[in-house]
């Protein structure tokens, strides 16, 4: 459970540091550790027919939430430039057609980021 909390704490500090990528990677690794340890403790307790250790369910939940949030933060970090351009385009868009053009522009920028499709 401590790992899950530590991972969420690391994600909450991501805006305050200059090397956000390292903090996101740290949060993912620690969140994965919380998830694995929570699942293994619960599984071991079930196999031994004993009570589940306190905090194992919390570790599973916090680990899964921190991994999901870290993944979203990583996507935001990788596509920050494209998302900023998309936001500016939507702010200047007047009407549905202009908003759809912004969406097409974003999709094209993301596809260009991954290189030519083969």
Same domain, 61 and 103: no
Q: At what angle do helices 2-12 and 20-47 cross, to 10 degrees?
A: 160
Helix ranges (DSSP H) in 1-118: 2-12, 20-47, 56-78, 80-92, 96-113
Same domain, 33 and 68: yes
pLDDT, residue 12, reads 73
pLDDT, residue 91, reads 92
Give the pLDDT confidence of 16-59 residue by residue, as tens digits: 666 788 888 888 999 999 999 999 998 888 888 888 788 888 88
DSSP state at residue 111: H
Percent of the chain with pLDDT over 70: 92
pLDDT, residue 15, reads 66
Same domain, 12 and 69: yes
Place of tokens 């996101």: 24
Please answer whether residues 89 and 103 qualify as being in contact, where contact means their C-beta atoms are separated by less than 8 angstroms.
no
Quote the number of domains for the chain. Answer: 2
Same domain, 87 and 65: no
For 11, the domain range is: 1-78
d(CA 37, CA 63): 9
């Amino acid at each position: 459970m401590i790992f899950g909390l530590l991972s969420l704490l690391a994600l909450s500090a991501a805006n305050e540091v200059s090397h956000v990528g390292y903090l996101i990677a740290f949060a993912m690794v620690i969140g994965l550790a919380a998830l694995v340890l929570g699942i293994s403790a619960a599984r071991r307790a079930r196999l031994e027919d004993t009570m589940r250790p306190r905090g194992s369910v919390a570790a599973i939940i916090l680990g899964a939430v921190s991994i999901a949030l870290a993944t979203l933060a990583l996507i935001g970090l990788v596509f920050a430039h494209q998302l900023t351009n998309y936001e500016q385009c939507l702010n200047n868009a007047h009407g549905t057609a202009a908003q759809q053009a912004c969406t097409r522009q974003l999709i094209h920028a993301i596809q260009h980021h991954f290189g030519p499709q083969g």
